[in-house]
Amino acid sequence: KNLIVALGEVVVDFIPTVSGVSLAEAPGFVKSPGGGPANMAVGAARLGAKVSFIGKLGDDMFGHMLLEMLEQNQVSGEGILFDPEARTALSFVTLRADGEREFMIYCNPKTDLRLKPEELNLDLLRSAKVLHYGSVSLMLEPCRSAHLKAMEVAKESGALLSYDPNLRLSIWPSPEEARKRILSVWDKTDIIKISDDELEFLTGCDKTDDETAMKLWHPNLTLLLVTLGAKGSRYYTKNFHGAVDSYRVKSVDATGAGDSFVGALLCKFVQDPTILENESKLREVLNFANACGAITTTKRGAILALPTEAEILALINGAKSQQGKPVWVV
C-alpha cells in the first residue's frame, strides 16, 4: 500500500496581480488552483507520491478546469463527483507586502458541501496508506457525515489519518463552532499539523510554546506538528520533541506553504513509515518539508508554486554552501 488519499475542497483562488494592496484596490486577479487538501495532493504527487482525491465540484467550467488540473498533475480524480446544482468555490486572496494573506471566500456551503456518505469511493479509501483531510468538510451535512465515514473506513483498513485544519474563520458561522468542529475529530487522528496561529486559536492561549502545544496532545496521536512560517516547524511525538529551522527565502505569497509542507512529509512517510519513530530521520524529513514550504512562498499562487524534489534539494544544498545567507531569490 502506498496511496495517499486527500479528502475535501479544491477551489479557484484569485490572486491579485500586485502585492500590498487591498482587494478593493487590486487592479486585477489571476486564476490559481487551490484549496488545502488539493494543494497537499498536488504537492505530494509532484514529489513522486501516488495520490487520489475525493470531493465534489460544481458542474461548471471552473469545476471541470480543476479536475483537469489535478489529473495533469498526476492526482487521480476517480473519487471526484460533479454536482449540477453546485457552484465551484472561489477564493479571493489579498497578498500583503510581507507575503501574508487575507481571504474572501465565495462558497455557498449549502451547495458546496454536498458530498454524501453513500457517494464515497470506498475502494479508494480501503486502499489508502494515508487519508489526509482539513476541517472545511466538517462544517455542514451531508459532507460532515461523509468525512466521518471516510475516516472510519480508511482507519478500519489500516490507513494513517492526517489532519491539517487549515482554519479559515470567515467561512464558519462563529469561532466557537469552528473550534468545536475542528476538535471533534482530534483524538481519532494520527498526524496533526497546525500553524502557530491555529495553536493560539484552538487553545485560547496567547503563547505558542511547548507547554501550549502539549494542551493539544492526545494519547492516540503519533505526531503533532506546529508550523511557524519563516521560523520553521516544531514536532512532538510520544518519545521526543524538537524544532527544525526553515530556509531564508524571498517570500511573495505564503498561500499553500503549510499544505506543501504536509505533502512533502506524507510523501516521505509512504516511502518510509519508520520516519515517525526515528528522530533523526524525522528531522531530516522536516528539513526537506520546511524547504518545500519555503519555496512555495517564493511564487504567487498555491499549486502553481509547489516545488519538485530537484528544486528542494537545490535549496538545501545551496544553503549548506552559502551558510545561511538567502539563496533563493525570485
What minimum distance in Å lies between the beta carbon of 182 and ligand ATP? 13
Choices 22-30, 82-90, 201-209, 227-235; region in contact with ligand ATP by CB under 6 A: 227-235
Q: Are 128 and 154 spatial neighbours (Cβ–Cβ below 8 Å)?
A: yes
User: In this complex, which beta carbon is closest to ligand ATP, that of residue 52 or of residue 246?
Assistant: 246
Choices 25-33, 109-117, 177-185, 255-263; region in contact with ligand ATP by CB under 6 A: 255-263
Query: Three-state SS for 197?
Result: helix
User: In this complex, which beta carbon is closest to ligand ATP, that of residue 125 or of residue 252?
Assistant: 252
What minimum distance in Å lies between the beta carbon of 237 and ligand ATP? 17
User: In this complex, which beta carbon is closest to ligand ATP, that of residue 115 or of residue 292?
Assistant: 292
What minimum distance in Å lies between the beta carbon of 146 and ligand ATP? 23
Q: Does 14 interact with ligand ATP (rule: CB under 6 A)? A: no
Q: Which one, of 107, 88, 96, 98, lies nearest residue 16 by Cα? A: 96
Q: Between helices 36-46 and 257-271, what is the axis angle to 10°?
A: 50
Q: Which one, of 263, 257, 264, 261, lies nearest residue 305 by Cα? A: 257
3-state DSSP helix/strand/coil % of the chain, to nearest 5: 40, 25, 35
What minimum distance in Å lies between the beta carbon of 34 and ligand ATP? 9
Q: What angle do CA 20, 24, 28 make, to 5 degrees?
A: 75
User: In this complex, which beta carbon is closest to ligand ATP, that of residue 124 or of residue 315?
Assistant: 315
- Residue from 95, 254, 275, 306 that binds ligand ATP (CB under 6 A)? 254
Q: Does 33 interact with ligand ATP (rule: CB under 6 A)? A: no
Query: Three-state SS for 242?
Result: strand
- Residue from 86, 294, 312, 316 that binds ligand ATP (CB under 6 A)? 294
Handedness of CA 270, 272, 273, 278 (dihedral sign): negative
User: In this complex, which beta carbon is closest to ligand ATP, that of residue 110 or of residue 231?
Assistant: 231
- Residue from 88, 137, 203, 227 that binds ligand ATP (CB under 6 A)? 227
Which residues lie below 8 Å from residue 195, measured CB to CB, with a gap of 6+?
226, 227, 228, 229, 258
Q: Does 133 interact with ligand ATP (rule: CB under 6 A)? A: no
- Residue from 189, 203, 212, 251 that binds ligand ATP (CB under 6 A)? 251
Q: Does 201 interact with ligand ATP (rule: CB under 6 A)? A: no
Which residues lie below 8 Å from residue 301, measured CB to CB, with a gap of 6+?
13, 15, 30, 32, 33, 34, 253, 255, 256
Cα 325 from chain centre: 28
Q: Does 256 interact with ligand ATP (rule: CB under 6 A)? A: yes
Amino acid at 7: L
- Residue from 229, 263, 301, 307 that binds ligand ATP (CB under 6 A)? 229
The Cα–Cα gap between 319 and 309 comes to 15
* 18-24: long-range contacts, CB 8 A cutoff, minimum separation 24: 19/95, 19/96, 19/97, 19/99, 19/252, 19/253, 20/95, 20/96, 20/97, 21/94, 22/94, 23/92, 23/94, 23/102, 23/104
The Cα–Cα gap between 285 and 2 comes to 17
Q: Does 202 interact with ligand ATP (rule: CB under 6 A)? A: no
- Residue from 8, 34, 77, 293 that binds ligand ATP (CB under 6 A)? 293
Q: Are 76 and 52 spatial neighbours (Cβ–Cβ below 8 Å)?
A: yes
- Binding residues for ligand ATP, rule CB under 6 A, total 23
- Residue from 63, 246, 265, 269 that binds ligand ATP (CB under 6 A)? 246
Q: Does 249 interact with ligand ATP (rule: CB under 6 A)? A: yes
What minimum distance in Å lies between the beta carbon of 149 and ligand ATP? 26
The residue ranges that bind ligand ATP (CB under 6 A) are 166, 195, 227-230, 232-233, 246-247, 249, 251, 254-259, 261, 290, 293-294, 297
